[in-house]
Amino acid sequence: MVSIPAQLPDWLRELYPFAPRRLALPGGEMSYVDEGTGEEAVVMVHGNPTWSFFYRNLVRALRGRFRCIVPDHLGCGLSDKPQGYEYALASHIANIETLLRHAGLKRWHLVVHDWGGPIGLGAALRNPLGLGRVVIMNTAAFRGPMPVRIRLCRMPVLGALIVRGLNGFAGPATSMAVTRPLTTPVKRGYLFPYDNWRHRIAVHRFVRDIPLGQGGASDPVLDQITAHLPQLTASQVMLLWGAQDFCFNRFYYDRWCDYYPAAEKHYLATAGHYLLEDAPEECGRLIGTFLSAPGGPG
């Protein structure tokens, strides 16, 4: 088992001023942020290769009105990084379901990004009791085209060398996923949990687990999530999208619009994949207003 030290360096605590909690799961301990108070909660689910650090500014913006719960998937962020764990979509969904039960949520909203889309939506659609509104950011819960650079990271041997050996996935993302350059401390923050071969195991396994409809173990799991997307109503959904995303491009945004044509939509023309970095104030304002609006399901 590989763990990140509980005591964070001062420079990181300035950016990430939270006291993460720990939840024991079958595969190891999950680290998660539980900040703020309120009758309603917001669960924020990150993707790959980020961690709860991605949502740090959104937590600050919302914790005065909502209880904010932000997990690090096993293998990511400050969670344990077991080397023999099955890093598969079904396992990540089950872990979020365990966290939801542990948190005892009565009414909660969901914010998802990247791999957090199928994971968070997979958990939510199987546990819809109390689910309020859903913010969908640069993600997919259905199959679509994959960039060549990501396909390279899936290749046997070469993929592991690129992702785990050279940090050729998390590292380049700190520049390729934004249109506004990250400061050096913020870039260090994203990379802090992924500083060696063993700590990058989940980054690689996430890439290997992308369902392509070719008989992979996660293919039927994704298909089930896709089939249940119509359970969400248009009034529940906001699409918030960084238009300058090389991976989750206009194809994916248009597909979400097909699923939820009457949803609230915001297509941010100058933001990239890490849209919470490129437009933090605008995203915080839009999400806060949407989640605080009266009415809606539940």
For residue 19, give the amino acid letter: A
Place of tokens 């960039």: 147
In a domain, 4, yes or no: no
pLDDT tens-place string over residues 183-240: 999 999 999 999 999 999 999 999 999 998 888 889 999 999 999 999 999 889 999 9
Residue 132: give the domain boundaries: 10-292
CATH code of the domain in which 87 resides: 3.40.50.1820
d(CA 125, CA 236): 13
In a domain, 38, yes or no: yes
d(CA 145, CA 147): 7
In a domain, 195, yes or no: yes
In a domain, 5, yes or no: no
pLDDT tens-place string over residues 246-283: 999 999 999 999 999 999 999 999 999 999 999 999 99
In a domain, 196, yes or no: yes
Nearest to 125 by CA among 223, 199, 5: 223
Structural domains in the chain (count) = 1
In a domain, 298, yes or no: no
* Mean pLDDT calculated for residue range 142-148: 89
d(CA 197, CA 252): 32
Q: How far is CA 165 from CA 158, 193, 194, 206, in A?
A: 10, 15, 11, 16
| Residues whose CB falls within 8 Å of the CB of residue 37, separated by 6 or more in sequence, listed in order | 67
What band does 149 get if pLDDT is binned at 50, 70 and 90?
confident
pTM above 0.85, yes or no: yes
